[in-house]
């Protein structure tokens, strides 16, 4: 019982804190401390969410399609770049600074240029998501490849293994933990990147929906879509957690051994 009690408290603490914040928020709005046109109450946000639920689902499908396509391209590109940077040290020294510099340019500044160059279709949105998601995954994979046990690599070389075999059996498995950690970040970035790109141009998507309700001063609907975006990001991160447990069973065994 003593072992389960702290665990139960730790799991319940976030939910209790969120409930407390929502109660304070509802109280401030109901008492008129904060005007509803500035900060609608949670009850108003829930009503707006269900009132526009079919429309939100339709816009969510567009945003998720853009995010999935952009994230898939970013994963492929990050893997290819990290693979060659790990294989060739000269390429790593040349490309790594460029990757860091690319993150100093705000995505909000890039989005109008992409729309100017690629139009108002899905292409600029996918490119912006790739730019946003590529860096954390490329760096995570590269650091994971570099963290492989050197003694195991030397043993593989002594046994006559090729570079591809070393990569497949040593470096790639050792990089999975860092990859999934960066993938969680990239998954949330992909949704946010899609919404930002939709703000600047498009016909459908949650970003387009937010722009329309903002112009009509429907801030309850604005908060509803904000919470929906947060919920989608959390669900994506949870799905990646489950995928990580399936892909890295050795980490699960190690964690169970540490708990025992």
Secondary structure of 168-208 in HEC code, one letter for each residue = HHHHHHHHHHHHHHHHHHHHHHHHHHHHHHHHHCCCCCHHH
Cβ 138 vs Cβ 99: under 8 Å? yes
pLDDT digits (tens, 9 = 90+) for 62-109: 999 999 999 999 999 999 999 999 999 899 999 988 888 888 888 777
Residue 125 lies in a domain: yes
Do residues 144 and 176 touch, judged by C-beta distance below 8 A? Answer: yes
**pLDDT over 70 percentage in the chain:** 93
Cβ count within 10 A of residue 46 = 14
Least confident segment among 29-38, 118-127, 130-139, 192-201: 29-38
- What is the predicted pLDDT for the residue at 209? 93
Distance CA 238, CA 60 (A): 18
The mean pLDDT of 38-61, rounded to a whole number, is 91
84 contacts 192 by C-beta, under 8 angstroms: no
Confirm whether 32 is domain-assigned.
no
Q: Does residue 183 lie within any of the structural domains?
A: yes
The reply to whether 7 falls in a domain is: no
Residue 1 lies in a domain: no
Is the residue at 29 inside a domain? no
Residue 78 counted as domain residue = yes
Q: How many domains, the chain?
A: 1
Confidence category of residue 252, pLDDT binned at 50, 70, 90 = low
pTM of the model: 0.87
Whether the Cβ atoms of residue 212 and residue 59 lie closer than 8 Å to each other = no
CATH number assigned to the domain comprising residue 84: 1.10.3720.10
The answer to the question of residue 104 being in a domain is yes
Give 258's pLDDT tier (boundaries 50, 70, 90). low
């Amino acid at each position: 019982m003593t072992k389960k009690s702290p665990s139960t408290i730790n799991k319940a603490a976030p939910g209790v804190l969120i409930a407390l914040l929502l109660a304070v928020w509802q109280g401030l709005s109901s008492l008129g401390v904060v005007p509803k046109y500035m900060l609608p109450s949670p009850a108003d946000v829930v009503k707006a969410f269900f009132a526009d639920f079919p429309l939100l689902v339709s816009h969510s499908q567009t945003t998720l399609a853009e995010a999935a396509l952009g994230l898939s391209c970013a994963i492929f590109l990050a893997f290819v770049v990290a693979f060659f940077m790990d294989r060739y040290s000269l390429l790593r020294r040349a490309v790594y600074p460029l990757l860091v510099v690319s993150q100093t340019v705000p995505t909000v500044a890039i989005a109008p240029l992409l729309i100017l160059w690629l139009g108002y279709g899905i292409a600029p949105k996918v490119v912006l998501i790739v730019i946003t998601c590529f860096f954390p995954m490329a760096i995570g994979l590269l650091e994971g490849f570099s963290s492989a046990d050197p003694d195991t690599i030397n043993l593989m070389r002594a046994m006559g293994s090729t570079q591809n075999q070393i990569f497949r059996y040593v470096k790639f498995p050792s990089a999975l933990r860092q990859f999934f950690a960066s993938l969680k970040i990239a998954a949330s970035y992909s949704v946010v990147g899609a919404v930002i790109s939709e703000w600047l141009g498009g016909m459908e998507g949650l970003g387009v929906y937010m722009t329309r309700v903002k112009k009509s001063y429907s801030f309850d609907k604005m908060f509803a879509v904000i919470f929906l975006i947060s919920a989608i990001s959390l669900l994506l991160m949870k799905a990646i957690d489950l995928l990580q447990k399936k892909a890295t069973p050795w980490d699960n065994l190690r964690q169970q051994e540490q708990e025992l």
